Amino acid sequence: MSTSDVDPDGGVIGRLGDLYLDHLAVERGLSQLTVSAYRSDLREYFAWLAGSGIADPEGMDLESSLRFAAHLEKTAGASSRSRILSAVKGFHRFLFREGELGHLDIVGISAPKLTRRIPYVLSQSEVEELLRQPDDTPAGMRDRAMLETAYSTGMRVSELCGLRSEALDPDRRFVRIRGKGRRERIVPVGSKARAALERYLSEARPLLAAPEASPFVFLNYRGGRLSRVGFWKILKKHALAAGLPGDVTPHTLRHSFATHLIEGGADLRAVQELLGHASIATTQIYTRLDVDYLLEVHRTFHPRG
C-alpha cells in the first residue's frame, strides 16, 4: 500500500484521509490553501491515533475522541483546538456518510468558544483621504485605480491582484470575481472607481505593459502581475502619507467596504453576496461595528437611557 499524503504511516485511516481531502478539493471546491490547512490538522490527529494504537475507524469511538480532545487541551491554544476539532469532525462526518464509521459520537464534543474580534475599519473621511494620495504619474494612476476598485467592490487582495481584463464588462460597470472555492460573483463598480479605472487603462497601463501582453489588469513596473505583497506596500505608502494608523492592510479596505454599506442601510444578504461569503454568519460581524451609533440611539430613545 502506498504511503498516504496525509498520514506518513499510510494504512486504512491514511487512505481514508486522502479520500476526504480529494472530496474537499473536487466535490466541495475548496481552494488548495484551505485543503492544505485541513491536511495539516488531520496529520496531527492521525499521528495521535497511531500513537494510541488506533489503526482503523473501529477504534475511533467516543472514548478516543474524548482522549484526543484532552490531548489538545494540553498541547494547543483555544483557536488551534477549535480549528483542529472542526477538521476532525468533518472527517468523521465524511466517514459516516461513506459507511466507514457507524456513529458520530465526536460531534457532541464542544469546541472552545472563541471571541470573534471586530475588524479594524476606516471611517469614510479616512478613506477619502487615502484615495487622495496617489499622484498623476503612471504608477500613481495605477495605485488610485487599485485603491478605488478595492474599496468600491470589497475584493480580497488576491482577487484584486488576480483580476483579468476579461473580468471587466465593456462599460466597467461590473466586475466578475472568482473567489474562494472557485465561487464566482458579479459586483458593481462605483462611478469614482470606474473613472479611475478608465484613466489607468487608457493612459497608464500601456506605459507599464511589457512587450508580451499580460492578461492581468494591474501591472508592476516590469509589466507583469502586481503581487499581493506589492499592493500591500503600495497601500502602506499611501496610508502613511494620509496620516492613517500603521495597521492598515488590504483587508482593511474590504472591512470598510462592508461596514459603510451596512451603516448606509444595505441589506445583510446583499452584502454577503457582494463579499462572496459562503455563510451569512461571517457577514454578521459587520452588524456589530457601529457601537457608538447604537449607544447614541439607546441614550436618545430609551426612557431610561
CATH of the domain at 222: 1.10.443.10
**Whether residue 62 is found in the same domain as residue 38:** yes
Per-residue pLDDT for 207 more than 80? yes
Name the residue with higher pLDDT: 143 or 86.
Answer: 143
**Residue 101, SS3?**
coil
pLDDT band at 243 (very low <50, low <70, confident <90, very high): very high
DSSP 277: -
Mean pLDDT of 130-136: 96
- Residue written as cell 459603510? 260
pLDDT by residue (tens digit) across 218-237? 999 889 899 988 999 999 99
**Whether residue 141 is found in the same domain as residue 250:** yes
In a domain, 211, yes or no: yes
**Residue 43, SS3?**
helix
**Whether residue 89 is found in the same domain as residue 139:** no
d(CA 268, CA 274): 10
pLDDT of residue 1: 33
How many angstroms separate the most distant Cα atoms in the chain?
Answer: 73
In a domain, 116, yes or no: no
Whole-model pTM: value is 0.59
As a whole-number percent, the residues of the chain with pLDDT over 90 amount to 28
As a whole-number percent, the residues of the chain with pLDDT over 70 amount to 82
d(CA 141, CA 155): 19
**Whether residue 169 is found in the same domain as residue 286:** yes
**Whether residue 201 is found in the same domain as residue 284:** yes
CATH number at residue 87: 1.10.150.130
pLDDT of residue 137: 96
Whether 281 and 288 have beta carbons less than 8 Å apart is answered as: no
Q: Which of 38-47, 99-108, 157-166 has the lowest mean pLDDT?
A: 99-108
pLDDT by residue (tens digit) across 174-202? 888 887 666 788 888 999 999 999 999 99
* Domain total in the chain: 2
Q: Which of 74, 108, 142 is the last residue of a domain?
A: 108
In a domain, 304, yes or no: no
Q: Which of 54, 76, 108 is the last residue of a domain?
A: 108
Averaged confidence pLDDT in the chain: 82
Closest CA to 86 of 60, 112, 66: 112
Whether 234 and 146 have beta carbons less than 8 Å apart is answered as: yes
Q: What DSSP letter does each residue of 169-207 carry, written as one string? A: -TTSSEEEEE-GGG-EEEEE--HHHHHHHHHIIIIIHHH
Which of 45-54, 263-272, 289-298 is most confident? 45-54
Q: Which of 108, 135, 163 is the last residue of a domain?
A: 108
In a domain, 62, yes or no: yes
pLDDT of residue 3: 43
pLDDT of residue 110: 64
**Whether residue 132 is found in the same domain as residue 246:** yes
pLDDT of residue 293: 47
pLDDT of residue 238: 96
**Whether residue 146 is found in the same domain as residue 282:** yes
**Whether residue 157 is found in the same domain as residue 280:** yes
**Residue ranges making up the domain that contains 207:** 124-295
In a domain, 305, yes or no: no
**Whether residue 270 is found in the same domain as residue 190:** yes
**Whether residue 27 is found in the same domain as residue 145:** no
- Residue written as cell 490538522? 41
In a domain, 35, yes or no: yes
Active site residues: 156, 180, 251, 254, 277, 286
Which of 125-139, 172-186, 288-302 is most confident? 125-139
pLDDT band at 276 (very low <50, low <70, confident <90, very high): confident
**Whether residue 192 is found in the same domain as residue 278:** yes
Task: Give, rounded to a whole angstrom, the gap between the first and last alpha carbons of the chain.
Answer: 70
